């Protein structure tokens, strides 16, 4: 007979629980927990599941809006009304620690998990994106991580037949040792078929469907709630293993199930596996669940109750149906050749009751386990970091202007943060299902909604360097830049999902970054009327004494009422006018130019005026809808010279540009300074008057700065004169050279 381990404070600490949390468990149960119960509390009260250090701040986000069909965090993913009986479900989540340890499986299962969050709501996934961050590619380990993360994302998404339509790849030293892998998925559902993650109705049967349960991923949630060390990096058993072919079958079976009136609730078994789905679904339904682990289909022998409850084996769902429909449920999963096993029933006790080998091995009030219920919520101490005032002191006098701006531009076009990511994107199938209107490499991705005139635009954005230098304004900029990219593609921003990647929340300086960034995100979302539908918080992204840059990635979704208004970044025709919407006020603080050319990471970052930003976005979108604008490209990393270069190299052969810009700025500020609330557009000369009238009506500044040419070159004032072929070589070939060195 196996002897039960002694449950004491030391054992609780080893499970990641604090002394106060262990004492609270004693109060809840009125007794000492057994080993299974301790494991259940440890995963449900982990940072990854409970958001105990962040939930109070997250509640400050704007979480309601006229188009939102569910409140933030209410379901597995956000749900936004598109009209005509359709809605879009979307969400972004992190899989950082698993990817840092086992990049292929970590990234692949991150994609699988976010897909399940979408299709458990009855929404068919139609597109995915990602936001990836790695340390310097001069280090072989970081090249290895990038290579295998991309391979994992590509293999899983391609096997599922869901197009990966874009995202971002960012390289900064701070991400060495702790890469960030954020995956976003978007799906479409008829509103009458939306499903909920709920368990209710006494006596209703509870099923596990999909894959069998193994030992992979045990304590994955707690693994994601600690810093990476040499010890944790050796815990590869904490990383789940995915099977996209099973997921494809599970997706089709789940979507068929979601159309049945006798379905009560369905939830993915993600973090914390059976434990999480049972406790969250029953708490939401104000009910209880009783399950028998002897009935759980296992893929490994001799698994104990602790292992079964905490396993994070992939491609599994918990399903609750009305009594009397067992035969119909089994028929669906038999059709798709998936396991479908009844493991328990809904009760009216409010308890999570777990049986194994004839014994009750756990009995815990479900409400006490879950976020928004009894899970801990903390007010964390904050302290402004000393670096904040010290590092925001850059002045233009601190650097010398270089003599060869052609060379500077080519250097920037070849730097990993600006250069084309086609090395990454061409591993993804971005056009499968034939809905992709704009794929990787542009401002935002655009997906056609078949059977309608509508489309959806989606973008993932964050400049972690900006957030590091000024967390509050950096958080605002992450929101408005993602919205600006959606607008440039022809979409009206609707709502966001976010993935908040930070270091150790128990460090007051880290939590100050988090609190400031969350405040900034909330301010920008209120200004743009883009509520937060939900997302993910990922803390403890650090190794040793080094935390990643605070990186609140924003996933923005926008609506195109008419897919014909889809707009791209490339120039369309020689003779077209090049016009800026907004005033060029190039700022070198925090810029890619300052980092790459001068080796400085200093602020202040570009100033943002939210009212002005709203006006510029409104002007651009209105001009697109009126057919005035032929291309639109927001000014961001690398400044004006990079912006124009990107529009040239993406356009048809023969085109170039000549700019004559009147300015008060220094040459390097004009060419490479980064500023907010500026969009560069092109239009025919005959449309210029109409654009100016529209800008005057909205009281927005415009400036004609040049023309598209047929010279295959870029000329800007008397500073830059460079051939297109040199720009193309720097822009399209650099990342592959770096990765294959």
Place of tokens 């919205």: 483
**Which tokens in the block code for residue 625?**
């809808």
Instruction: Give the pLDDT score at 236.
Output: 47
Structural domain contains residue 623: yes
Which of 545, 549, 544 lies closest to 500, judged by CA? 549
Over 60: is that where the pLDDT of 438 sits? yes
List 88's β-bridge partners, or say none.
80, 188
**Which tokens in the block code for residue 643?**
């912006």
Instruction: Give the pLDDT score at 7.
Output: 87
pLDDT tens digits along 512-560 = 999 999 999 999 999 999 999 999 999 999 987 789 999 999 999 999 9
Structural domain contains residue 340: yes
CA-CA-CA-CA torsion for 132, 138, 143, 144, nearest 10 degrees?
Answer: -130
pLDDT tens digits along 201-224 = 999 999 999 999 998 867 644 444
Phi-psi category of residue 109: left, alpha or beta, with phi > 0 → left and psi -120 to 50 → alpha: alpha
Query: Buried (b) or exposed (e) across 396-405, using 16+ Cβ within 10 A?
Result: eeebeeeeeb
Is 605 in contact with 575 (CB distance < 8 Å)?
no
Provide mean pLDDT across the span 99-128: 95
Cα separations (Å) of 223 from 153, 202, 310, 342, 576? 21, 35, 12, 30, 55
Query: Buried (b) or exposed (e) across 407-427, using 16+ Cβ within 10 A?
Result: ebbbbbbbbbbbbbbebbbeb
Alpha carbons within 13 angstroms on the beta-carbon side of residue 356 total 16
Which of 25, 52, 41, 8 lies closest to 506, judged by CA? 52
Better-scored residue on pLDDT, 545 or 83: 83
pLDDT tens digits along 168-196 = 999 999 999 899 999 999 999 999 999 99
The count of structural domains within the chain is 2
Alpha carbons within 13 angstroms on the beta-carbon side of residue 87 total 25
Structural domain contains residue 73: no
Question: CA Rg, the chain, in Å?
Answer: 26
Place of tokens 């800026």: 580
Which of 324, 313, 156 lies closest to 248, judged by CA? 156
Contact residues for 405 (Cβ-Cβ < 8 A; gap 6+): 641, 667, 668, 671, 719, 720
Domain region containing 631: 567-741
Cα gap 673→640, rounded to integer Å: 7
Instruction: Give the pLDDT score at 230.
Output: 54
Strands, E assignment, 191-315: 205-210, 263-268, 288-292
Is 315 in contact with 211 (CB distance < 8 Å)?
yes
Structural domain contains residue 516: no
Catalytic residues: 48, 95
Provide mean pLDDT across the span 339-344: 98
Over 70: is that where the pLDDT of 676 sits? yes
CA triplet 670, 675, 679: central angle to 5 degrees?
A: 95
Structural domain contains residue 636: yes
Is 412 in contact with 418 (CB distance < 8 Å)?
yes
Cα gap 347→517, rounded to integer Å: 42
Q: Which of 315, 345, 377 is the last residue of a domain?
A: 377
Residue 378, helix vs strand vs coil: coil
Instruction: Give the pLDDT score at 407.
Output: 98
Structural domain contains residue 502: no
Provide mean pLDDT across the span 368-379: 94
Phi-psi category of residue 293: left, alpha or beta, with phi > 0 → left and psi -120 to 50 → alpha: alpha
Q: Which of 334, 360, 377 is the last residue of a domain?
A: 377
Provide mean pLDDT across the span 375-383: 96
pLDDT tens digits along 709-726 = 999 999 999 999 999 999
Instruction: Give the pLDDT score at 408.
Output: 98
Residue 206, helix vs strand vs coil: strand
Give me the CATH number covering residue 288.
Answer: 3.90.650.10
Cα gap 200→222, rounded to integer Å: 29
Q: Which of 355, 377, 399 is the last residue of a domain?
A: 377
Provide mean pLDDT across the span 331-344: 98
Instruction: Report cis status (omega within 30 of 0) of the bond before 604.
Output: yes
Report residue 238's pLDDT band, with 50, 70 and 90 as the boundaries.
low
pLDDT, the chain, mean = 94
Cα gap 586→676, rounded to integer Å: 9
Report residue 661's pLDDT band, with 50, 70 and 90 as the boundaries.
very high
Place of tokens 């390097």: 668
Residue 576, helix vs strand vs coil: coil
Structural domain contains residue 627: yes
Q: How far apart are the first and last CA of the chain?
A: 57
Structural domain contains residue 521: no
pTM score of the predicted model: 0.95
Over 60: is that where the pLDDT of 233 sits? no
Cα gap 333→335, rounded to integer Å: 5
């Amino acid at each position: 007979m196996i002897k039960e381990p002694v449950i004491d404070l030391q054992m609780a600490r080893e499970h990641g629980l604090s002394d106060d949390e262990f004492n609270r468990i004693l109060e809840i149960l009125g007794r000492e927990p057994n080993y299974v119960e301790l494991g259940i509390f440890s995963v449900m009260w982990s940072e990854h599941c409970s958001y105990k250090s962040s939930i109070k701040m997250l509640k400050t986000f704007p979480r309601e809006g006229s188009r939102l069909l569910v409140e933030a965090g209410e379901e597995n993913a956000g749900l936004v009304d598109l009209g005509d009986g359709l809605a879009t479900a979307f969400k972004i989540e992190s899989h950082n620690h698993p990817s840092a340890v086992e990049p292929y499986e970590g990234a692949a299962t991150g994609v699988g998990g976010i897909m399940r969050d979408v299709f458990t709501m009855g929404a068919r996934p139609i597109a995915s994106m990602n936001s990836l961050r790695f340390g310097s590619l001069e280090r072989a380990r970081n090249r290895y991580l990038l290579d295998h993360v991309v391979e994992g994302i590509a293999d899983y998404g391609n096997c599922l037949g869901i197009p990966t339509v874009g995202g971002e790849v960012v390289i900064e030293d701070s991400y060495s040792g702790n890469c960030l892998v954020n995956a976003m998925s978007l799906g479409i559902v008829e509103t009458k078929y939306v499903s909920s993650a709920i368990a209710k109705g006494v006596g209703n049967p509870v099923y596990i469907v999909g894959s069998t349960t193994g030992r992979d991923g045990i304590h994955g949630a707690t693994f994601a709630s600690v810093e990476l060390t040499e010890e944790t990096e050796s815990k590869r058993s904490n990383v789940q293993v995915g099977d996209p072919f099973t997921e494809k079958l599970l997706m089709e079976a789940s979507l068929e199930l979601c159309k049945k009136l006798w379905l009560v609730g369905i939830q993915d078994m993600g973090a914390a596996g059976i434990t999480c789905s049972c406790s969250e679904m029953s708490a939401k339904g104000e009910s209880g669940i009783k399950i028998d682990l002897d009935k759980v289909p296992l893929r490994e022998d001799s698994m104990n109750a602790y292992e079964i409850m905490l396993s994070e084996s992939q491609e599994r769902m918990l399903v609750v149906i009305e009594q009397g429909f067992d035969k119909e449920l089994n028929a669906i999963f038999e059709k798709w050749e998936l396991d479908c096993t009844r493991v328990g029933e809904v009760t009216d006790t409010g308890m999570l009751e777990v049986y194994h080998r004839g014994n009750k091995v756990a009995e815990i009030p479900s409400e006490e386990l879950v976020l928004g219920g009894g899970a801990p919520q903390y007010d964390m101490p904050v302290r402004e970091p000393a670096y904040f005032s010290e590092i925001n002191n850059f002045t233009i006098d601190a650097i010398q202007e270089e003599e060869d701006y052609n060379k500077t531009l080519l250097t920037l076009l070849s730097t990993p943060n600006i250069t084309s990511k086609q090395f990454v994107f061409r591993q993804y199938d971005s056009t499968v299902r034939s809905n992709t209107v704009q794929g990787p490499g542009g401002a935002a991705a655009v997906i056609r909604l078949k059977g309608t005139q509508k489309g959806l635009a989606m973008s993932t954005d964050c400049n972690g360097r900006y957030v590091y230098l000024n967390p509050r304004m950096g958080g605002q900029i992450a929101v408005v830049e993602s919205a600006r990219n959606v607008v440039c593609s022809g979409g009206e921003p609707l709502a966001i999902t976010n993935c908040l990647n930070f270091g150790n929340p128990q460090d007051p300086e880290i939590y100050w970054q988090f609190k400031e960034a969350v405040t900034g995100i909330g301010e920008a979302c209120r200004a743009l009327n883009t509520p937060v539908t939900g997302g993910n918080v990922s803390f403890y992204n650090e190794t040793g004494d080094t935390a990643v840059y605070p990186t609140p990635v924003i996933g923005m979704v926008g609506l195109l009422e008419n897919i014909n208004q889809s707009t791209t970044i490339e120039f369309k025709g020689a003779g077209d006018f090049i016009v800026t919407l907004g005033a060029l006020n190039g700022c070198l603080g925090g810029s890619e130019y300052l980092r790459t050319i001068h080796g400085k990471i200093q602020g202040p970052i570009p100033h943002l005026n939210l009212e002005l930003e709203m006006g510029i976005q409104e002007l651009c979108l209105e001009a697109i809808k009126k057919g005035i604008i032929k291309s639109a490209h927001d000014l961001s990393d690398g400044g004006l010279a990079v912006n124009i270069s990107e529009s040239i190299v993406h356009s048809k052969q023969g085109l170039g540009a000549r700019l004559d810009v009147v300015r008060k700025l220094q040459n390097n500020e004009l060419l490479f300074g980064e500023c907010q609330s500026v969009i560069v557009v092109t239009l025919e000369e005959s449309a210029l008057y109409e654009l100016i009238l529209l800008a005057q009506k909205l009281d927005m500044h415009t400036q004609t700065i040049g023309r598209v040419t047929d010279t295959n070159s870029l000329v800007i004032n008397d500073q830059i004169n460079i051939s297109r072929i040199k720009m193309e070589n720097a822009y399209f070939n650099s990342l592959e050279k770096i990765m294959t060195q």
